[in-house]
């Protein structure tokens, strides 16, 4: 038996595996493959997006440069023709201030050398210094000659000063006045008239700063240098340094057009004065020195920029530009490498007057246009990036870059700086695909699979449990039923044998034996009836004969018959009924069987108490028959189960009583067939009341309902 149960359990598990686990597994594999495919799709889509992003970045750069070029064209159109040069100077300065991406503006024409304009160059090549005329009357003016003679040949500085001062009122041109004042200051210095000399240099600086003397030296620089050395003489290092600060500041801001030799001359002169003051303990001096050092740093930076622009200006490229044919009013971008430095410029030819160019600061373009565009997209599209130059050298990259994935490459087109973008897609991850691809469809599929598996497992275990329980009950039933049969049959056989062999002496005893045989066979036939009815009901073959009848007399008959067949005559059955119980429709034989089973249970489980009460009452349209005993009772857990097939309550006391576990099942089935019910009210240890409820219904209705 156990082996068969084991086989059954295995079969159910096999069904579970075949019907639930296997399809779920297949579904799971399909969903997983879907995820993998989706992931590949997502990655491809991501790469396409990155390609699109990089094109957007390139287009953004292009658009920015175009807008700068457009602004530039507007400016150069407004400064033509050339007579407006002063106006042009301020316009171009403004343009450079507004567009920091412009490293320099240059002009190339057939008639003049290529020129850098307003480009923050601190010095220019000597050959491109602006030509100028020295004061026209140097040879013509005899007094001036005499002054020079006194100064340089005879070293009579008093006379020289006198003559220079005499000639000054005659000089009207700015150039001549500047030159003569310079001579006066120079002689005053030689005469040790330091304060006077300083005064004169002050005047020169204020009014003649932009006057150039021999070797294209601006008077402004002379005035400041001389003043600072005069102050040193006077041991006024603060004033000396103030003048040096002013000088360096103006040099850094390209106030004067000077050549490289003079630029280095000024720096070395300034250095000497600075060094002379370096050891001072004066607070003010130290403060000034700090400021001067920071200007010196800026000068070093500007010198790099100046060299950068000068290499371009001196290169062959710019000479080629002159010969290049550019369609009128059009813009052309070009690039090259000079001394391993990248140059990228935009060239416009306006009205055939020459070619104007803007040299683009590619570092600025990178940091202030391309990088912000990349950072913006980086946040949106989840990627890391690198920018390399045309040699593959790394220029810029994002933080935390891992080069696990193959990047998406995008080279800037030829009309932009020679750069390449590398966008590295970030892994989207399996979990991401699970949750986000196709609106989380796969996630839901997995959830459904888990639910199916869980439910499948739950029902399989329940079925196995029920099966085991049921087969256990069935085997118990077999053994109890055979036992039930065995004991009456044995006593019948023994008594019949004794009667047959004439071993019963008195007639009285014989009668008792006959009576006992009758009782036992009565019990047997009840038992058989129960089993037969049970099997009919199981197969849905039980036929009921519903008739309108008197339920009270039927119940009374059943009680009387039960009483007369009782082996244990000490049990007392009390019957009470209400006055007006109506006739109702029922199957007489079945209700008698119900009564018999209930009374049999009441007497079997009544323990020491030997009283059973039977009560027939009406409640609404129902007739209710209560069978009450005062025996062992039923505990709450068993109350619902006692109507199940083969169920016998687990209480030791009830288990010791013989029974098959089908009596109440039959009662329940019969009551259902009558459209009625059976309910139990019990107190463990105090007894139970079983109530059958019979509705007052017509025969037709019951039959009709039966057919349903």
Residue 659 binds to ligand ADP (criterion: CB under 6 A): yes
**103: CB partners within 8 A, 6+ apart:** 119, 305, 308, 309, 359, 360, 361, 364
Q: Tell me whether residue 218 or residue 663 sits nearer to ligand ADP (CB atom).
A: 663
Residue 348 binds to ligand ADP (criterion: CB under 6 A): no
Q: Among 437-445, 514-522, 535-543, 652-660, which window interacts with ligand ADP (CB under 6 A)?
A: 652-660
The single residue among 445, 629, 669, 674 that binds ligand ADP, judged by CB under 6 A, is 629
Query: Is the Cβ–Cβ distance between 559 and 599 less than 8 Å?
Result: yes
Q: How far apart are CA 288 and CA 283, in angstroms?
A: 9
User: Would you give the end-to-end CA distance of the chain in angstroms?
Assistant: 39
The single residue among 54, 593, 688, 691 that binds ligand ADP, judged by CB under 6 A, is 688
Q: Is 21 exposed, middle or buried (0-12, 13-18, 19+ CB in 10 A)?
A: middle
Q: Tell me whether residue 634 or residue 673 sits nearer to ligand ADP (CB atom).
A: 634
Residue 630 binds to ligand ADP (criterion: CB under 6 A): no
Query: Is the Cβ–Cβ distance between 256 and 210 less than 8 Å?
Result: yes
Q: Tell me whether residue 374 or residue 649 sits nearer to ligand ADP (CB atom).
A: 649
Residue 537 binds to ligand ADP (criterion: CB under 6 A): no
CB of 613 to ligand ADP, least distance (A): 12
The single residue among 383, 631, 669, 671 that binds ligand ADP, judged by CB under 6 A, is 631
User: Across the strands, what pairs with 421?
Assistant: 387, 410
Q: Minimal CA–CA distance to 344: which of 352, 354, 334, 353?
A: 334
**289: CB partners within 8 A, 6+ apart:** 241, 274, 277, 278, 280
CB of 504 to ligand ADP, least distance (A): 33
CB of 655 to ligand ADP, least distance (A): 8
CB of 590 to ligand ADP, least distance (A): 15
Residue 354 binds to ligand ADP (criterion: CB under 6 A): no
- E strands present in 300-379: 330-338, 341-349, 355-360
CB of 660 to ligand ADP, least distance (A): 5
Residue 634 binds to ligand ADP (criterion: CB under 6 A): yes
Interface of this chain with ligand ADP, residues 390 to 449, rule: CB under 6 A: none
Q: Tell me whether residue 623 or residue 634 sits nearer to ligand ADP (CB atom).
A: 634
Interface of this chain with ligand ADP, residues 599 to 618, rule: CB under 6 A: 601-602, 605
Query: Is the Cβ–Cβ distance between 346 and 65 less than 8 Å?
Result: yes
The single residue among 104, 114, 661, 676 that binds ligand ADP, judged by CB under 6 A, is 661
CB of 459 to ligand ADP, least distance (A): 27
Q: Is 152 exposed, middle or buried (0-12, 13-18, 19+ CB in 10 A)?
A: exposed
How far is residue 48 CA from its own chain's centroid?
A: 21
Residue 573 binds to ligand ADP (criterion: CB under 6 A): no
The single residue among 355, 523, 648, 668 that binds ligand ADP, judged by CB under 6 A, is 648
Q: Tell me whether residue 410 or residue 642 sits nearer to ligand ADP (CB atom).
A: 642
Q: Tell me whether residue 61 or residue 597 sits nearer to ligand ADP (CB atom).
A: 597
Q: Tell me whether residue 207 or residue 536 sits nearer to ligand ADP (CB atom).
A: 536
Query: Is the Cβ–Cβ distance between 661 and 643 less than 8 Å?
Result: no
How distant, in Å, are the alpha carbons of 233, 252, 585, 592, 612 from that of 627?
Answer: 138, 120, 20, 13, 7
Query: Is the Cβ–Cβ distance between 42 and 428 less than 8 Å?
Result: yes
The tokens describing 535, both together, are 């099997």
CB of 464 to ligand ADP, least distance (A): 25
Q: Tell me whether residue 287 or residue 474 sits nearer to ligand ADP (CB atom).
A: 474
The single residue among 218, 417, 663, 676 that binds ligand ADP, judged by CB under 6 A, is 663
The tokens describing 8, both together, are 């059954």
Query: Is the Cβ–Cβ distance between 321 and 305 less than 8 Å?
Result: no
Interface of this chain with ligand ADP, residues 664 to 683, rule: CB under 6 A: 664-665
CB of 581 to ligand ADP, least distance (A): 24
CB of 664 to ligand ADP, least distance (A): 3
CB of 682 to ligand ADP, least distance (A): 7
Interface of this chain with ligand ADP, residues 475 to 494, rule: CB under 6 A: none
Q: Tell me whether residue 626 or residue 665 sits nearer to ligand ADP (CB atom).
A: 665
Q: How far apart are CA 179 and CA 185, in angstroms?
A: 10
| Phi-psi sector, 675: left (phi>0), alpha (psi -120 to 50), beta | left
Number of residues that bind ligand ADP (CB under 6 A): 22
The single residue among 188, 660, 669, 697 that binds ligand ADP, judged by CB under 6 A, is 660
Interface of this chain with ligand ADP, residues 136 to 155, rule: CB under 6 A: none
Q: Tell me whether residue 123 or residue 690 sits nearer to ligand ADP (CB atom).
A: 690
Q: How far apart are CA 585 and CA 672, in angstroms?
A: 14
Q: How far apart are CA 357 and CA 315, in angstroms?
A: 15
DSSP for 128-188, written as a single string: GSPP-PPPTTTTT-HHHHHHHIIIIIS--HHHHHHHHHHHGGG--SHHHHHHHHHHHHHHH
Long-range own/partner contacts, residues 529-532 (CB < 8 A, 24 or more apart): 529/593, 530/593, 530/597, 530/660, 530/662, 530/663, 530/666, 531/481, 531/660, 531/662
Q: Tell me whether residue 114 or residue 661 sits nearer to ligand ADP (CB atom).
A: 661
Residues in touch with ligand ADP (CB under 6 A) = 597, 601-602, 605, 629, 631-634, 642, 647-649, 654, 659-665, 688
């Amino acid at each position: 038996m156990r082996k068969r149960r084991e086989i059954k359990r295995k079969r159910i598990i096999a069904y579970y595996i075949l019907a639930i686990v296997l399809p779920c597994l297949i579904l799971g594999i399909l969903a997983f493959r879907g995820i993998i495919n989706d992931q590949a799709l997502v990655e491809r889509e991501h790469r396409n997006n990155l390609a699109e992003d990089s094109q957007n970045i390139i287009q953004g750069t292009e658009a920015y440069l175009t807008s700068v070029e457009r602004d530039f064209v507007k400016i150069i159109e407004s400064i033509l023709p050339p007579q407006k040069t002063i106006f042009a100077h301020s316009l171009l300065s403004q343009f450079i201030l507004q567009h920091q991406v412009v490293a320099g503006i240059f002009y190339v024409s057939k008639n003049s050398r290529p020129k850098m304009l307003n480009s923050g160059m601190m010095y220019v090549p000597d050959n491109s210094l602006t030509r100028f005329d020295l004061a026209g009357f140097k040879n013509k003016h005899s007094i001036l000659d005499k002054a020079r003679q006194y100064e340089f040949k005879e070293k009579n500085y008093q006379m020289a000063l006198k003559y220079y001062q005499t000639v000054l009122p005659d000089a009207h041109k700015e150039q001549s006045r500047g030159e003569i004042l310079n001579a006066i200051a120079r002689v005053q210095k030689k005469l040790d008239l330091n304060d006077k000399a300083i005064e004169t240099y002050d005047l020169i600086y204020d009014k003649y700063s932009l006057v150039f003397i021999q070797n294209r030296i601006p008077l402004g620089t002379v005035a400041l240098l001389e003043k600072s050395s005069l102050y040193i003489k006077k041991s006024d290092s603060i004033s000396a340094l103030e003048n040096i600060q002013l000088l360096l500041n103006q040099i850094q801001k390209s106030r004067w057009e000077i050549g490289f030799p003079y630029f280095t001359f000024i720096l070395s002169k300034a250095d000497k004065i600075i060094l002379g003051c370096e050891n001072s303990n004066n607070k003010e001096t130290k403060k000034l020195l700090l400021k001067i050092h920071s200007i010196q740093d800026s000068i070093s930076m500007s010198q790099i920029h100046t060299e950068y622009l000068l290499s371009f200006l001196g290169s062959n490229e710019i000479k080629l530009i002159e010969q290049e044919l550019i369609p009128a009013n059009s813009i052309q971008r070009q690039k090259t490498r000079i001394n391993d430095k990248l140059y990228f410029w935009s060239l416009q030819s306006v009205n055939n007057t020459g070619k104007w160019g803007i040299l683009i600061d590619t570092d600025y373009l990178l940091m202030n246009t391309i990088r912000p565009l990349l950072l913006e997209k980086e946040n949106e599209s989840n990627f890391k990036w690198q920018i390399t130059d045309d040699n593959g050298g790394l220029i810029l990259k994002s933080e935390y870059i891992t080069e696990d994935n193959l990047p998406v490459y995008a080279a800037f087109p030829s009309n932009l700086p020679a750069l390449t973008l590398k966008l590295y897609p970030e892994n989207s991850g399996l979990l991401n695909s699970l949750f986000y691809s196709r609106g989380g469809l796969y996630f839901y599929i997995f959830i459904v699979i888990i639910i199916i598996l869980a439910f499948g497992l739950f029902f399989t275990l329940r079925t196995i449990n029920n099966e085991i329980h049921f087969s256990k009950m069935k085997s118990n039933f077999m053994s109890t039923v055979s036992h039930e049969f065995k004991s009456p049959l044995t006593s019948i056989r023994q008594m019949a044998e004794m009667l047959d062999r004439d071993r019963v002496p008195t007639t009285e005893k014989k009668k008792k034996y006959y009576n006992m045989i009758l009782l036992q066979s009565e019990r047997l036939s009840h038992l058989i009836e129960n089993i037969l009815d049970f099997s009919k009901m199981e197969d849905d073959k039980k036929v009921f004969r519903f008739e309108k009848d008197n339920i009270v007399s039927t119940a009374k008959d059943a009680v009387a018959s039960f009483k007369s067949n009782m082996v244990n005559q000490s049990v007392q059955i009390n019957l009470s009924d209400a006055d007006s119980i109506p006739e109702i429709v029922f199957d007489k034989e079945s209700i008698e069987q119900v009564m018999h089973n209930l009374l049999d249970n009441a007497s079997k489980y009544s323990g020491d108490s030997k009283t059973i009460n039977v009560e027939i009452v009406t409640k609404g349209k129902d007739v209710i028959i209560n069978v009450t005993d005062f025996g062992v009772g039923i505990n709450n857990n068993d109350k619902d189960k006692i109507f199940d097939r083969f169920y016998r309550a687990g209480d030791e006391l009830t288990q010791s009583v013989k029974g098959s576990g089908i009596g109440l099942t039959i009662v329940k089935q019969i009551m259902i067939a009558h459209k009625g019910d059976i309910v139990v009210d019990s107190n463990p240890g105090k007894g139970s009341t079983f109530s059958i409820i019979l509705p007052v219904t017509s025969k037709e209705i019951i039959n009709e309902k039966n057919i349903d």
